[in-house]
Amino acid sequence: MAIRVYDTKSRSKREFETLEDGKVKMYVCGITPYSPSHLGHARCYIAFDVVHRWLEASGFEVDYVQNFTDIDDQIIEISESEEVTFEVVANRNIEEYFEVMDRMNVLRADSYPRVTETIPEIIVMVESLIEKGHAYLADDGVYFEIDSAPEKYGLLTGQTLEMVREGAGGRVSETGSGKKNHRDFALWKFARKDEPSWTSPWGEGRPGWHIECSAMSLKHFGEQFDIHGGGHDLRFPHHEAEIFQSECSTGCEPVVGFWMHNGFVNVDGEKMSKSLGNFWNVSDLFERHAPLALRYALLSVPYRNPIDLTPEFLEDAADHYERLVGAYSRSLTSGDSGTDMTGVSELFRDAMDDDFNTRSAIIEVQKVVSLGTSKGVASWLEEHAGNILGLLPSREEVIAAQEEAHTARVGISEKVEVLLSQRDEARGAHDWGRADQIRDELASMGVIVEDGSDGPTWRLG
C-alpha cells in the first residue's frame, strides 16, 4: 500500500508523490522564540518528527528544514523590558526548545535557518514582487497587494478573508498608514526608533512575518518542494501569504506538493490559551509527566485531529507508556525467540501509510505489549515503538535502568521479605491496622506489592 497523505489544499488524501524520486523536501514552520516552548509546540514537532521517521523508514531520503523566527515584535518587547538584546531572548528560548524536544525524542531537522540569517534573500524576494507588480512601497514599509493575484486567495481555507479574520490570530492585522487595502500584508516594515533593523533599498527595517518562510524555503529547496507543515492556525494568514509570495515571485506553481497541518491542543475541553489560564509550558509538564509518556499521549490521537488533554487522559497514557517500557525491558532478557509478528507488522504499516495514523499504530503496539516476553517482542518494539514512533528510551538506557533496579532490589530484598512475612501474619490475624502500616512502609521504600494466588510478589515502582 502506497503512503497516502491528507493535503490541506485539495482537502483530500492523495497518494504521496515527490518531485524527485526517492527524495523528500520537507519544510515545517518553527517557533518564534520569545518564550519557553509550550504544549502546542510539542504537538506540532512530535507529529512532524513521526512523519520524518516514517518517510525515512519507507526508504525516502528526507531533507527536513525547520526555521526560527528570531526577530519579532514580541521578542523586541521582551528584550526592551529586560534591557537585553533581542539575540539574548531568542537564543535562550531556542536553546530551551532543543532541550525539551531532545527529552521528548524529537530528532533534529537537517537545517534550522533563522530570519536574521536570511535578510539578503528576503530583500531579493521583495524586490522581485515589486518589479512584477505584486507589491508596493508605502509610508511605513512594503506591502503585498492581494488584488494583484485574486485567484490565489483562500487556497488553503476555502474562505474569504472576512470569514476568517476573527479566528486567524493576533498577527493578521499588520496595519499601516500606507496600506491600499486592509487585506494587504507587510513584506518589509520600516524600523521604529531604537529597534533592531537592517538596511534595504527602501530604508532601515526588518521583514514582515510571512516573507521569511517563503525566502527560507526558496533558499533551501528552490521554487518547489514536497511538504510544508505547521499548526492548523497557520493556514491563514501565514501559509496563504506564503503561496501568494512564493508563486508570484517565482512564477512557478504550485510551490508545495502537500500542505500538512496538525490539530489544536485543548485542555479540559477548551483551546489552550494564556487568557484562560490553561497554557502549559513543556518544561513545567515534565515535573509531573515523563517526557516520553507525554509523547505517548500526544501520539495517541491522529495528528490532524484536535487533542483534549485531561488529567485522566495523561494518566492513562502514562500507564500505557510504563507497560510498554516494562514489556520491552523484560523482553530484552527473555530466552524465548519465537513470536510471529507478520500480521501486526502489516497492520502497523497500513496505519502509518494511511496519513501517519499514530493512533492505529499505537493500538498495534499495545497488542504486542500484551503478547508476553520474547526476543521477537523486543526487536519488534525497538523498531516500531522505538525507531518509528520514538516512544522508547535507548536500549542502553533500559539496560542501565535494569542494572540499577537490580542493585536496588538486592539492597532491600531481605528487609522487604521480612516485612511481607510480617504483613502476611498480620492479615492472617485480622490485624488490619498493622497490615496497613507495613503496606505504607513498603510504599515509602518504592515497593509495589501485587497479591496473587501464589502469594504476594513485589517490584520497585
Q: What is the pLDDT along the chain (461 residues), one digit of tens a residue?
A: 799 999 999 999 999 999 999 999 999 999 999 999 999 999 999 999 999 999 999 999 999 999 999 999 999 999 999 999 999 999 999 999 999 999 999 999 999 999 999 999 999 999 999 999 999 999 999 999 999 998 898 899 887 655 544 444 444 444 456 788 888 999 999 998 999 999 999 999 999 999 999 999 999 999 999 999 999 999 999 999 999 999 999 999 999 999 999 999 988 777 776 666 667 899 999 999 999 999 999 999 999 999 999 889 999 999 999 999 999 998 888 767 667 889 999 999 999 999 999 999 999 999 999 998 888 899 999 999 999 999 999 888 877 766 566 565 666 777 777 888 888 888 888 888 887 888 888 888 777 777 776 678 777 65
Is the distance from CB of 246 to CB of 218 less than 8 angstroms?
A: yes
Cα Rg, the chain, nearest whole Å: 27
Listed residue (70, 69, 67) closest to 113, CA to CA: 67
DSSP annotation string for 350-390:
HHHHBT--HHHHHHHHHHHHTT---HHHHHHHIIIIIIIT-
Domains of the chain, CATH where assigned: 4-262 (3.40.50.620), 292-393 (no CATH), 404-460 (no CATH)
What is the H or E stretch that residue 5 is in? strand 4-7
How many CA atoms are closer than 13 Å to the CA of 359, on its beta-carbon side? 9
Q: Which residue shows C-alpha cell 503496539?
A: 365
Strand-pair partners of 457: 450
**Gap between the Cα atoms of 136 and 187, Å rounded:** 10
CA 180 to chain centre: 38
Between β-strands 225-231 and 256-262, what pairing exists: parallel, antiparallel or unpaired? parallel
Whether residue 243 contacts residue 275, with contact meaning beta carbons closer than 8 Å, is answered with no
User: What is the model's pTM?
Assistant: 0.87
DSSP 279-336: --BHHHHTTTS-HHHHHHHHHTS-TTS-EEE-HHHHHHHHHHHHHHHHHHHHHHT-S-
Closest by alpha carbon to 309, among 54, 38, 57? Answer: 38
Q: Cβ neighbours of residue 301 under 8 Å, at least 6 residues apart?
A: 263, 307, 358, 359
Q: Which amino acid is at 232?
A: H
CA torsion sign for 118, 106, 229, 170 is negative
Cα–Cα dist 438/422, whole Å:
8
And the C-alpha cell for 71? 526577530
Residue 298 CA to residue 143 CA, distance in Å, equals 38
Secondary structure element (H or E) that encloses residue 414, with its range: helix 395-428
Amino acid at 209: W
CB atoms within 10 A of CB 21: 7
SS3 182: coil
For 424-449, the DSSP string reads: HHHHHTT-HHHHHHHHHHHHHTTEEE
Instruction: Report the 10 Å Cβ neighbour count for 290.
Output: 18
Q: Which residues contact 59 (CB under 8 A, 6 or more apart)?
A: 22
